[in-house]
Chains A and B, each alone.
Chain A
Amino acid sequence: MSTLNVSNITDGTTTVGTSYVVNGSAKHFCNWNGTGTPAILESLNTASLTDVGAAEVTVNLSSAMSSANYGVTGLSSGSDRNITYSRGSANTASAIKTYTTNLSSAADEAASNTVVAHGDLA
């Protein structure tokens, strides 16, 4: 593996510092199906997920974040509109805890779920 050590990146017109690219890149994502037998369909920096119970999944990272205070975004799809967020215990540096619900806030599993994490790696 080679390392390119540069301070800025340019396309000839626009120049940005490489720190913008490094700090702004997603450090983790995971897409899984939440119905039937759960499986991870696409991912980066994911080791596994734990099917905790109905509509509740913990996603385990391979390379941990520097602390639990990183940014997570999530989206779910399915027959109903769902949202994905942490419930009960909080995220840790190496685990994202998700719970999907319908618009009545009742547990509702979705066919497709994604979480993305931004922040600093450990």
Chain B
Amino acid sequence: MTHGHLWDRLAEAKSRLAPVQSKYRVLFEDPATPDEPAKVLVPDPNFMAAALAGNVLPPIDTYQRDRLVPDGQPKEHPYAEPIGAMSEEEAIEYLVQKDIDPAVWRDYQGNRTIMKIVPVEMIPADRSFRNAWRIVQ
């Protein structure tokens, strides 16, 4: 049996799996734009369900190679063989590598803390001063 296209697996998984709201958020700052506020990565519940169940998502290195593929050219990640189940923590690490620029999580060599994985309760619910958010050093 072929594993098909990633979109087909995601649609099938959504019909079969209950969504999972992650208890984590990823707080990060972009070193290329130091004056901008801290950003917050919010995991998708259907993505989390698929990651925890396994056999839906492609290997993370296919996304990383596809970053270098120009628009309109064939991408690797939709057709790659799916990987097995992840823990919630592994799924968050996967998302960091997929959706945050490597300049943040891989290449940064400064001495500021520019990324933290935190419980969702640590993200302020009051957004009055949202554009002043920074990671406490």
User: Which of A30, A44, A47, A49 neighbours the largest number of chain B CB atoms within 10 Å of its CB?
Assistant: A47
Interface membership of B44, Cβ < 8 A: yes
Please report the C-alpha to C-alpha distance between residue A66 and residue B37 in the assembled complex, in whole angstroms: 31
Given A40-B43, A44-B46, A122-B78, 6 more A-B residue pairs with CB atoms under 8 Å apart are A44-B14, A46-B44, A48-B47, A49-B41, A50-B100, A62-B44
User: Considering only CB atoms, which chain A residue lies closest to B94 in the complex?
Assistant: A47
Contact of B6 among A62, A66, A69 (CB under 8 A): A62
Interface membership of B107, Cβ < 8 A: no
Interface membership of B125, Cβ < 8 A: yes
Interface residues of A (CB under 8 A from B): 1, 3, 27, 30, 32, 35-40, 43-54, 60, 62-64, 66-69, 93, 95, 109, 121-122
Q: Which of B1-31 contact A (CB under 8 A)?
A: 1, 4-12, 14, 21
Please report the C-alpha to C-alpha distance between residue A60 and residue B67 in the assembled complex, in whole angstroms: 13
Please report the C-alpha to C-alpha distance between residue A44 and residue B40 in the assembled complex, in whole angstroms: 20
The 9 closest A-B pairs by CB, nearest first: A122-B75, A67-B71, A51-B40, A54-B130, A63-B6, A46-B44, A60-B99, A63-B7, A36-B125
Interface membership of B110, Cβ < 8 A: no
Please report the C-alpha to C-alpha distance between residue A39 and residue B9 in the assembled complex, in whole angstroms: 23
Minimum distance in angstroms from A11 CB to a CB of chain B: 22
Minimum distance in angstroms from B100 CB to a CB of chain A: 8
User: Considering only CB atoms, which chain A residue lies closest to B14 in the complex?
Assistant: A44
Contact of B7 among A1, A27, A35 (CB under 8 A): A27
Decide yes or no: A62 and B57 within 8 Å by CB, A47-B44, A121-B78 being known contacts.
Answer: yes
Interface residues of B (CB under 8 A from A): 1, 4-12, 14, 21, 36-37, 39-47, 57, 66, 71-72, 74-75, 77-78, 95, 98-100, 120, 123-125, 127, 130-131
Which residues of chain A are near B45, meaning CB under 8 Å?
A: 40, 43
Tell whether, in the assembled complex, residue B71 and residue A93 are in contact, meaning their CB atoms are under 8 Å apart. Answer: yes
Please report the C-alpha to C-alpha distance between residue A53 and residue B40 in the assembled complex, in whole angstroms: 9
Which residues of chain B are near A54, meaning CB under 8 Å?
A: 37, 127, 130-131
Minimum distance in angstroms from B58 CB to a CB of chain A: 9
Which residues of chain A are near B120, meaning CB under 8 Å?
A: 37
Decide yes or no: A51 and B10 within 8 Å by CB, A36-B125, A37-B120, A121-B78 being known contacts.
Answer: no
Tell whether, in the assembled complex, residue B4 and residue A48 are in contact, meaning their CB atoms are under 8 Å apart. Answer: no
